[in-house]
Amino acid sequence: MTKPASPRRRNSYAAATLTGLLVVTGGVGASAAGSEVSANPPAQAGPDSTVSWAERTLRDMTLEQKVGQLFVADVWGQAPNEKHAGNQEKYGVDTPSDVVRKYQPGGVIYFNHGGTDNIERPKQVAKLSNGLQRAALATDSGVPLIVSVDQEGGRVTRVGEPATEQPSPMALGAGRDTEAAKATAAVTGSELRAMGINQDFAPVADVNSNPANPIIGSRSFSADPQLASDFVSAQVHGYQDSGSDTATVSSSAKHFPGHGDAATDSHTSLPTIDRTEQEWREIDLPPFKAAVDAGIDSIMTAHIRVPSLDPSGEPATLSKPIMTGLLREELGYDGVVVTDSLQMQGVREMHPDSEIPVLALEAGVDQMLMPPDLDVAVNGVLDAVNNGRITEERIDKSVLRILELKAERGIPEAPMVNVGAVDKKVGTPANRETVQAATDKAPTLLRNDDEVLPLTGQGKTLVTGWNNLDYPGYPARPVESLASKLGDSATALPTGAEPDEATIRRAVNAAGDADTVVVLTNGLSGDAAQRDLLHELLATDANVVAVSVQEPYDPGYVDVPTWLATYDWRDVSMTSLAQVLLGQQAPQGKLPVTIPAGDDPDTTRYPFGHGLTW
């Protein structure tokens, strides 16, 4: 049954007449404080002025400018005028600003060192954002950018220290505190906005119902639809509604219609989800409905095939029955729909790159993220309009939604940020305290058969196991981090992923001098060497404490008398883990998923909701 559209809320600052854009005096950061000032503060106007700005702007745009608004570009480099080979290779221009000037895109997206190398320090990001906004404002259309990032928390964290790092969504789900999740989203939103980033592609609304899912896992709040829905709703409000108006960011629920049951990675293939429609309605749909009900600004598509929802075989991103029939008409969603990256193989298996944006628009999508060739994508849409396949009115509908999103978040009114204030707003003690308090609820004690925990008075401790210095964009060093927090009696011996025989032998020898060995694990299902390490350490005289530091499914693969799960390996999670190990606080986490036996997925090893304490 078709449901009425949910009204899109408007923030108070977006109700101003947008006649006076901020101007920068002397360039980005030119003043002593690096501040930007408003040359012509906007006058107050009636409640329909947001739409009036969007409609007025749309009316003055050429077709080419409108089509530009449909795309979000990835740009290379850490400064707006930095020459980078990546820009030349993809766009035929030198700098990020050149990309904005050439294509007049609706937005840009930032990645850290694992991608386009946009992110080094918060103040640097703010200067980059200001420079790109200046380039956009100087174009003929003069429309400011949506500046986006994937800042989900946990392993998908683009802006790291000294910004306040967040635990994974699943860690928050284990803590069962939706108010804490809302508060952490508000922290992320305020810090991103201070850096000139006005859209976060979060929260993840996927229900991770498949323990073998290779791409979602701890990025999901839970395998339970209701629990996931509660946390998605809380974080949408945290991103978009909390704090002062200028501290909020646009959020985006992903990946519709639900990536949680995928058995393959849509970055490299097109997964097929074999749920029935009824199963989809019961499991995958609820968190997206919760996001719509909460007033989400945008929803990101999934490059997955769901035959029960669309038997055509098209990926959901390009499916009219899914994007229009279900999302637009049934859920009544009239906000921005944005694709996942168009560089992913999941959306490129069936069609040429010139056809994909056209099919996405025909399906009901508004904005295309990171096409592999922006010239090809733009010309594909222009050709479709010029030959009558897509009307300009259809383009206008999507562009209007994009412009309304920008106005709703106050981007035209305040496209620039105060560079001098960044250090006072990002990574503050208060923000860190808020996030640490939320993370402290996450560590989940699954077994403590021999009552090894807490470790008070237990003598020497060896911390060993998984580290990954090659983790995309961020070297993972949880072994050293945890050892430093356990005190002088603890030593660190990281063995990394897939430790060889000599590395395992070094760890076993070191265990001979320890009373307790804490072994961090990550991905035991596909890493026989890590399993061997655990078995070898269990054969020593030391007490062994195993800790799954990313996906919580590792305890299903090796029988260890003492098992914990943290759902994340970042420093904030290692701090919470150390407090539990030392008995400074009791474990509070409850499993947000069911952990099956590794060799028998139909057998439950640890049930949903399980979690011990003392």
User: What single string gives the DSSP state of each residue in 2-68?
Assistant: --PPPPPP--GGGGB------B-SSSTT-STT---B-SSPPPB--TTHHHHHHHHHHHT--HHHHHH
What's the pLDDT score for residue 469? 80
The pLDDT value recorded for residue 267 is 85
Above 90 in pLDDT, residue 28?
Answer: no
Residues in the chain: 614
Determine the average pLDDT of the residues in 393-416. 96
Largest CA distance in the chain: 78
Residues 144-173, mean pLDDT to the nearest whole number: 97
Q: In 225-276, where does DSSP find H-type helix? A: 225-240
Does the bond joining 162 to the residue before it have cis omega, within 30 degrees of 0? yes
Q: How many CB atoms lie within 10 A of CB 248?
A: 27
CB hemisphere CA count around 80 (13 angstroms): 17
pLDDT over 70 percentage in the chain = 90
Give the mean model confidence (pLDDT) for residues 174-189.
97
pLDDT computed for residue 48 by the predictor: 52
Q: Supply the pLDDT for residue 246.
A: 53
Inform me whether the pLDDT recorded for 462 exceeds 70.
Answer: yes
The alpha carbon of residue 503 and the mean position of all alpha carbons in its chain are separated, in whole angstroms, by 34
Higher pLDDT: 283 or 114? It is: 283
Residue 44 has pLDDT above 50, yes or no: no
- What is the distance between the alpha carbons of residues 582 and 600, in angstroms, rounded to a whole number? 34
Q: 3-class DSSP state for residue 154?
A: coil
Say what the pLDDT of residue 50 is: 52
Q: Which of 124-138, 257-271, 443-457 is least confident?
A: 257-271
Return the pLDDT at 549: 98
pLDDT on residue 12: 32
Least trusted range by pLDDT, from 245-249, 307-311, 481-485, 550-554: 245-249
Catalytic annotation, residues: 267, 340
The domains located in the chain, with CATH, are 12-425 (3.20.20.300), 440-606 (3.40.50.1700)
Is 70 exceeded by the pLDDT of residue 544?
A: yes
Pairing label, strands 461-465, 199-200: unpaired
**For residue 327, pLDDT beyond 60:** yes
Crossing angle between the packed helical segments 571-581 and 478-486, to the nearest 10 degrees: 40
CB neighbour class for 316 (10 Å; exposed up to 12, middle 13-18, buried from 19): buried
List phi, psi (to 5°) of 255: -125, 110
DSSP assignment string, 272-332: B----HHHHHHHTHHHHHHHHHTT-SEEEE---B-TTT-TT---GGG-HIIIIIIIIIIS-
**Average pLDDT over every residue of 400-426:** 96
pLDDT tens column, 196-249: 999 999 999 999 999 999 999 999 999 999 999 999 999 999 999 966 555 589
pLDDT of 39: 33
DSSP β-bridge partners for residue 149: 110, 200
**Average pLDDT value for the chain:** 91
**Rg of the chain over all Cα atoms, to the nearest angstrom:** 25
Segment 540-562 mean pLDDT? 97
Confidence at 21, pLDDT banded by 50, 70, 90: very low
- Judge contact between 78 and 123, C-beta under 8 A: no
So what's the pLDDT on residue 115? Answer: 87
| Cβ atoms of residues 606 and 446 within 8 Å | yes
- Higher-confidence residue of 444 and 601: namely 444
Question: 543: closest CA among 561, 558, 531, 557?
Answer: 561
Name the nearest CA neighbour of 87 among 73, 69, 68: 73
pLDDT tens per residue across span 79-112 = 999 999 999 999 999 999 999 999 999 999 999 9
Specify the DSSP class assigned to residue 121: -
Q: How confident is the model at residue 607 (pLDDT cuts 50, 70, 90)?
A: very high
pLDDT number for residue 51: 52
Q: Which tokens hold the place of 146? A: 């949506």
Q: Per-residue pLDDT averaged across 62-73, rounded? A: 98
Residue 508 backbone phi and psi in degrees, to 5: -65, -40
Rounded-to-integer distance, Cα 296 and Cα 204, Å: 12
Q: Is the pLDDT of residue 46 over 70?
A: no
pLDDT value of position 500: 97
- pLDDT attached to residue 15: 35
- C-alpha torsion 84→86→90→96, nearest 10: -40
